[in-house]
A = this chain, B = another copy of it.
Amino acid sequence: MARTQGSHSDITGPRIQTAALRLFAQHGYAAVSMRQIAKEVGVQAGALYNYTPDKQSMLFGLMRGHMQDLLATWRGQDLPVDAMEQLRVFTGFHIRFHLERADAVFIAYMELRNLSPENFTEIETLRGQYEDALEMILKAGVDQGVFHVPDTKIATLAVIAMLNGVNTWYRAGGRLSLDQVEAIYWDMVHKVVAPN
């Protein structure tokens, strides 16, 4: 992975990641060959192994990178003190972050079964940490009496599932602007946690 001599390492490495991300998202990990990835980058298949020990590591690296990026970016957000406002920030953040990385999101959900057991566990741990971030907000709101949910864990998963759905239908330049999408989902999300 590290750069050695005056080589193309620092240029080829990122290009391999970009190509793999796109191809895995489009055709699926199992359906994409190392030769296809190499062709898209413009090198021979053997050269890929200067950057990854095997195909599985490429997949894992992409997924872990995405999840770490997600967590780090969320943790860098300035959060208001009010639980309702925190939830609003989370809703907008989640929609925009995921729409901007459609390929990585797709892979992170669809290719879990192609991870080795150890790699799977690590990705699930990261995903759990992100879910915990939302659940903390919901719990705080329930404690403050501003939210009512029958089960904070289920509500967490329900909200995330609902928001993830945006990626399946949203297309830039479509019927709705990003601001409109955000407003529509905020309307629905805030009602999910509203008192009856």
A residues with a Cβ closer than 8 A to B are: 26-31, 110, 113-114, 149-151, 154-155, 157-162, 164-165, 168-169, 176, 181, 183-185, 187-188, 191-192, 194, 196
Contacts and interface: CB of A to CB of B under 8 A. Distances in A.
Given A157-B169, A162-B162, A151 B191 contact: no
Given A150-B183, A194-B194, 4 more contacts: A28-B114, A31-B114, A159-B162, A187-B196
A33 to B, nearest CB: 11
A192 B150 CA distance: 14
A142 to B, nearest CB: 14
Number of copies of chain A assembled together: 2
B27 A113 contact: yes
A192 B189 CA distance: 7
Contact of A28 (B28, B149, B160, B162): B28
A188 B192 contact: yes
A184 B152 CA distance: 10
Contact of A158 (B149, B185, B196): B185
A114 B150 CA distance: 39
Contacts of A157: 165, 168-169
Nearest to A190: B196
15 contacts: A27-B30, A28-B30, A30-B31, A110-B110, A150-B183, A150-B187, A151-B176, A154-B181, A154-B184, A155-B188, A157-B169, A158-B165, A161-B162, A191-B194, A194-B194
